[in-house]
Amino acid sequence: MAASLLLTRSPNYSSCPVISKKSRASGNGNGNGNGKGSIRPSSWSRAGPCLSGKRQMALTPRPPLVSCNIDANNKPCEQGKENESEKNGGGRRDLIQAASMVGLSFLAVSPSPNGSAWGAPVVPPDLNTCGPATVTTPPGVPSAPATSVSCCLLPPTKPIIDYELPSKPKIHRRRPAHKVDDDYISKYNKAYELMKALPSSDPRSFMRQADIHCAFCNGAYNQLGSTNKLQVHFSWLFLPWHRWYLYFHEQILAKLIGDPKFSLVYWNWDNQANVGGNIMPTMFTQEGSALYDAKRNQNHLPPILNTLALTDLASNALTNKQIIQDNLNIMYQSIVTASTPDLFMGKKYSAGDPEPNIGGTLENAPHTAIHAWTGSDKETYLEDMGNFYSAARDPIFFAHHSNVDRLWAVWNTIGGRRRDHTDPDFLNAEFLFYDENGCMVRVKAKDALDNSKLGVTYIKVNGDQLWLNYEPQPLSTTTTSKQVVPRSMDDIPELGPASQDTSPTKIDKKFVSLVKRPTAVPQELLDKGLEEEDLEEVLVLEYVEVPRNVATHIAVFINLPQADATTPLSCAEYVGSFINIPHLVGEGMDMSSRSVCARFGISDNLQRLGITDLSTISVTVVAKLGGSEEIPISLKGIKIEYE
Ligand code: C2O
């Protein structure tokens, strides 16, 4: 009844409430200088004629920028350094917000020299500064036409609302996609039909929803007050941003279908029990349905098992049994042994920081693998799912991310130090979305940390236990394969941390080096109240360079110099993977390559291999995908540090 009413009505999203003074004045609660909470931008109007830019500049001297005091070359791998001197100030942030409020866009977008950060949470961009996301083929890669996408957010017609969660949220019970019945599927289908039928002028329409993802991944916006792009991937923003994205997407679908409890499904790709979780869910593969997308890899339709390890090898080279074992260990290494928030959620990314480059293990491995596995290998940039600009044009995206979101919640339950970041720059990071009424809302990361407050629950599945309790065995003791014939370490070069003038080392098919382990636990960690046994030993690959526009995958092993692209990932020597998928880049960014730090917790591996007493270990980096003349991958340094 309600649904049919909706069908005959034109979209009603003109009823955005007015900003509540009370909620805006509440400030950000971290002493970050937001006492003037009420000066938050209430509209995004341009500067009026009465405000002359020059004069204002002269009247309002800017506080000096605080530099991170890190050599520019070394910045990416040092992302996340605390910046104490600015911790309690936030003066610049206030100024920018004030400037933005009165429309002084000249000030709001003034660059921060050398990309230095000023130690404050990331805030929404100036919506007037949106540019196109563009892409060209990187050097050495078979040429493809340059393309450019405009995915700017529709400008809000009403003031932006500081979103307040309902005190009694409607419960959305998200269930596994492979377990829902026909009624559920037809309802789901209907909801997406309605969303796809909305006019493109409606921010709730399917393409506008997809554009939100494109805009905040592909460099459409600068960070407020900076020339650096705003990016919601590759850092600690990844998990809370996507949780909010799903939340509003689900609310919109629920409203369209007239069922306030409507809930997304999750694609249970981590579930290796023989029940159908780890294939592309069939509810999304029926041609003609609103859930169908033709731009998917046609070799990966059911009943092909999804793999969390992309490889150059023909897909039939691995037996299902091996795919399952590999998937289990990828899950185990990405979630269970990622024992700290920096490892699992990704590192710090604050206002004004350059493009973040230290994503968490869930993001870097299984999450990205599913994107690349699903996208069409026939499309230039692996559209739709295999490229961030187009990923959310496939309805399966939201089922994929529901599972990512669910796995975050599972990680929280494992215990130890697996708790969310508590840094105020994380908690108070702010994002913009459109709500179910088409109103633009502003939310904070901290309000997304408890799913129950959002009304979201995940129906439990037993598949989690398989990887939670996975026991990877050392390859050296479980096989007589020639791969593990002991070999002298003498001819293996040693590689240390990258310094300013280190030149990149090419990985090609594989790269082996010896790496020293730290000799002592840093006092600063003990001073933070951490016990020695709580510390994680973290293997860091510094400045891994991968092309932006091709999918690549490196897998990392310790104590197995013989490892190559055929080595199973199910062994205790495997510490994890870093996977990159193409993403368009914003104007003015380096188009060719992306430099990242890949971090892996290895304490559990060292234990299982019985090599906790070694002072030097071998590290083997294997290109499972890429790593050739045409698709170059390189790195600058390797180190092991305590966290
Ligand atoms: Cu925003 Cu799965 O990526």
The residue annotated as part of the active site, out of 178, 242, 553, 583, is 242
Residue 112 pLDDT class (50, 70, 90 cuts): very low
Higher pLDDT, 378 or 489: 378
Note whether 318 and 511 are within 8 A (CB): no
Nearest of 163, 368, 185, 429 to residue 292 by alpha carbon: 185
Nearest of 570, 578, 575, 571 to residue 542 by alpha carbon: 578
- Residue 51 is predicted with a pLDDT of 22
Tell me: pLDDT of 436 over 60: yes
- Residue 489 is predicted with a pLDDT of 67
465-470 long-range CB contacts below 8 Å, 24 or more apart? 466/271, 466/272, 466/273, 466/328, 467/270, 467/272, 467/327, 467/328, 467/329, 467/331, 467/332, 467/335, 467/336, 468/332, 468/335, 468/336, 468/410, 468/414, 470/328, 470/329, 470/331, 470/332, 470/336
**Weakest-pLDDT range from 16-30, 58-72, 127-141, 332-346:** 58-72
Most confidently modeled range among 27-41, 142-156, 222-236, 482-496: 222-236
Token pair belonging to 277? 């979780």
- Residue 294 DSSP code: S
What sign for the dihedral angle of Cα 243, 244, 250, 251? Answer: positive
Strand partners, 432: 442
- Residue 315 is predicted with a pLDDT of 53
The class level of CATH for 487-642 reads mainly beta
Higher pLDDT, 323 or 41: 323
Q: Which residue has the tokens 């206002």?
A: 351
Token pair belonging to 208? 């506008």
Note whether 1 and 397 are within 8 A (CB): no
Token pair belonging to 525? 């960690």
Return all residues near 11 (Cβ < 8 A) that are at least 6 apart. Answer: 198, 199, 202, 204, 438
Token pair belonging to 168? 């009694």
Token pair belonging to 338? 């990622």
Examine the residue annotation and report whether 583 is marked as an active-site residue of this protein: no
**Weakest-pLDDT range from 78-87, 210-219, 348-357:** 78-87
Residue 156 pLDDT class (50, 70, 90 cuts): confident
Return all residues near 410 (Cβ < 8 A) that are at least 6 apart. Answer: 335, 464, 468
Phi, psi of 104, deg, nearest 5: -80, 75
Question: In angstroms, what is the span from residue 388 Cα to ligand 1's centroid?
Answer: 6
Torsion of CA 154, 157, 158, 162, to 10 degrees: 0
Strand 440-444 to strand 161-162: parallel, antiparallel, or no bridges (unpaired)? Answer: parallel
Question: In angstroms, what is the span from residue 397 Cα to ligand 1's centroid?
Answer: 8
Instruction: Give the span between the Cα atoms of 412 and 458, in whole angstroms.
Output: 14
Tell me: pLDDT of 142 over 70: no
- Residue 290 is predicted with a pLDDT of 98
CATH 2.60.120 positions along the chain are: 487-642
Q: DSSP for 547-607?
A: ETTS-EEEEEEES-TT--TTS-TTBTTEEEEEEE----EETTS--SEEEEEEEEE-HHHHH
- Residue 587 is predicted with a pLDDT of 58
- Residue 77 is predicted with a pLDDT of 60
Q: Which residue has a Cα nearest atom 3 of ligand 1?
A: 388
Tell me: pLDDT of 192 over 70: yes
Strand partners, 505: 635
Question: In angstroms, what is the span from residue 438 Cα to ligand 1's centroid?
Answer: 22
Q: What mean pLDDT is predicted for residues 211-235?
A: 88
Residue type present at position 643: E
Tell me: pLDDT of 5 over 70: no
Q: DSSP for 479-496?
A: ---GGG----STTSPB--
Instruction: Give the span between the Cα atoms of 521 and 535, in whole angstroms.
Output: 9
Q: What mean pLDDT is predicted for residues 256-284?
A: 96
Strand 510-516 to strand 616-625: parallel, antiparallel, or no bridges (unpaired)? Answer: antiparallel
Question: In angstroms, what is the span from residue 334 Cα to ligand 1's centroid?
Answer: 16
Instruction: Give the span between the Cα atoms of 471 and 466, in whole angstroms.
Output: 10
Please classify residue 581 by burial: count the beta carbons closer than 10 Å to its beta carbon, then call 0-12 exposed, 13-18 middle and 19+ buried.
buried
Q: What mean pLDDT is predicted for residues 54-63?
A: 25
- Residue 581 is predicted with a pLDDT of 87
Token pair belonging to 435? 């709500």
The residue annotated as part of the active site, out of 172, 178, 216, 233, is 233
Q: Which CATH number fits domain 21-129+197-468: 3.40.50.300, 1.20.120.530, 3.90.1150.10, 1.10.1280.10?
A: 1.10.1280.10
- Residue 128 is predicted with a pLDDT of 84
Nearest of 552, 547, 607 to residue 135 by alpha carbon: 547
Coil, strand, or helix at residue 546?
A: strand
Atom of ligand 1 nearest to the CA of 216: 1
With a pLDDT cut of 70, the percent of the chain lying above it is 75
Neighbours of 119 (CB within 10 A): 27
CATH 1.10.1280.10 positions along the chain are: 21-129+197-468
Q: What mean pLDDT is predicted for residues 169-175?
A: 97
Q: DSSP for 133-146?
A: EEE-PPTTS-----
With a pLDDT cut of 90, the percent of the chain lying above it is 60
Q: What is the mean pLDDT of the chain?
A: 80
Examine the residue annotation and report whether 388 is marked as an active-site residue of this protein: yes
Tell me: pLDDT of 277 over 80: yes
Note whether 314 and 217 are within 8 A (CB): no
Question: In angstroms, what is the span from residue 93 Cα to ligand 1's centroid?
Answer: 28
- Residue 583 is predicted with a pLDDT of 72
Most confidently modeled range among 23-27, 534-538, 594-598: 534-538
Most confidently modeled range among 98-112, 222-236, 393-407, 465-479: 393-407
The set of protein residues with a Cβ atom below 6 angstroms from ligand 1 is 213, 217, 233, 242, 367, 371, 388, 391, 401
Atom of ligand 1 nearest to the CA of 241: 1
The residue annotated as part of the active site, out of 172, 178, 213, 583, is 213
Instruction: Give the span between the Cα atoms of 76 and 490, in whole angstroms.
Output: 32
Rg (CA), the chain: 24
**Weakest-pLDDT range from 95-104, 132-141, 340-349:** 95-104
Instruction: Give the span between the Cα atoms of 182 and 32, in whole angstroms.
Output: 51
Coil, strand, or helix at residue 92?
A: helix
- Residue 335 DSSP code: I
Residue 304 pLDDT class (50, 70, 90 cuts): very high
Q: Is the pTM of this model over 0.85?
A: no
Higher pLDDT, 586 or 129: 129
- Residue 130 is predicted with a pLDDT of 86
Examine the residue annotation and report whether 401 is marked as an active-site residue of this protein: yes
- Residue 67 is predicted with a pLDDT of 22
The residue annotated as part of the active site, out of 178, 367, 400, 421, is 367
Note whether 548 and 608 are within 8 A (CB): no
Residue 194 pLDDT class (50, 70, 90 cuts): very high
- Residue 250 is predicted with a pLDDT of 98
Higher pLDDT, 328 or 590: 328
Residue 119 pLDDT class (50, 70, 90 cuts): confident
Nearest of 268, 400, 425 to residue 346 by alpha carbon: 425
- Residue 80 is predicted with a pLDDT of 42
